[in-house]
Amino acid sequence: MRRCSYFPKDVTVFDKDDKSEPIRVLVTGAAGQIAYSLLYSIGNGSVFGKDQPIILVLLDITPMMGVLDGVLMELQDCALPLLKDVIATDKEEVAFKDLDVAILVGSMPRREGMERKDLLKANVKIFKSQGAALDKYAKKSVKVIVVGNPANTNCLTASKSAPSIPKENFSCLTRLDHNRAKAQIALKLGVTANDVKNVIIWGNHSSTQYPDVNHAKVKLQGKEVGVYEALKDDSWLKGEFVTTVQQRGAAVIKARKLSSAMSAAKAICDHVRDIWFGTPEGEFVSMGVISDGNSYGVPDDLLYSFPVVIKNKTWKFVEGLPINDFSREKMDLTAKELTEEKESAFEFLSSA
């Protein structure tokens, strides 16, 4: 374990009455490229607020500890006043202790020639172990955000392996897809992404996800109008728009020869900030959460992306949105894929 602390060990940094007790935040896969784009934003107050001190815990596999030392040095060199301690480790019992927030970025990447079931099997092992470590060492109030793919099923695996932590505390990242959908609409209409709200990503963070703008609004000349009404191009919205968002990750890899990192890190920040501070009034966001009790006909016990609102660090489904036949078909298709993934994962889970 390596650490960098900005204070001598015998100095009391916080009074007991101090409201700004540091929170303990873990990032796994911390030597990877997404984490490299993410850690500065966490450390500079962009996620948890400009007055929230942080103890940042970095976990990676043993062969990456040399690289992680370099990341540790850079974080020291940023001289960020909110970072009270940075701990780099390859041990789960150190990494998961007393956590307030766990951002699980690390996972087994898909290699050439690897079947999806092989990928699932490798990741079930990782997320079963990390779920068990959360169960054993973390606070029961910990918020767990899974980024590593296949994110939905990895998140469900971690949750099932941490029975003492409420399943509502687990979510997976579909905010990158949500942001991609917002950006595509904004580009098409010549407005900023901030002028577009209430797009939805339904389902799996995979190419079956369904980006839905039936309920989205855009601000045009100071007035809010529905996206369908503003664009007047149903064939684009039901065709090219959907496939562009679904396949955007692959397009980035093709162009960059590397997967999305800067945009993924930004989406993680958005997702975690909304959990921490809540969603703005009148707006909802997309997040992979446990499907139990939803009103949209999605089977229970799936980790499925829904539109949610968040208040007091607790999410709720956005209820009562009408679903047309086109949407129904797409939502069912991605639920079917998630059910199949879950069944495969649970076979491996029982034998892992």
Binding residues for substrate: 110, 116, 149, 180
**Of how many residues is the chain composed?**
352
The CA-atom distances, in angstroms, between 28 and each of 77, 222, 235, 238, 253 are 21, 43, 41, 37, 22
Q: Which amino acid is at 296?
A: Y
Give the tokens for residue 202: 């339904």
Backbone CA torsion sign across 320, 321, 322, 326: negative
Active site residue 215: no
Helix, strand, coil percentages in the chain from 3-state DSSP, rounded to 5: 45, 20, 35
Pairing of strands 223-226, 217-220: antiparallel
Query: Is residue 138 a contact partner of residue 96, using CB atoms and an 8 Å limit?
Result: yes
For residue 206, give both structure tokens: 């995979």
Instruction: Output the six-digit token pair for 66.
Output: 């040399």
Output the CA torsion 95→100→105→107 (10° steps): 50
Parallel, antiparallel, or unpaired for β 83-89 and 54-59? parallel
Annotated binding site: 60, 110, 116, 123, 147-149, 180
Which is the catalytic residue, given 178, 205, 215, 271?
205
Taking alpha carbons only, the member of 109, 168, 98 closest to residue 133 is 98
Residues making up the binding site for NAD(+):
60, 123, 147-149
Q: Which residues are known to be catalytic?
A: 205
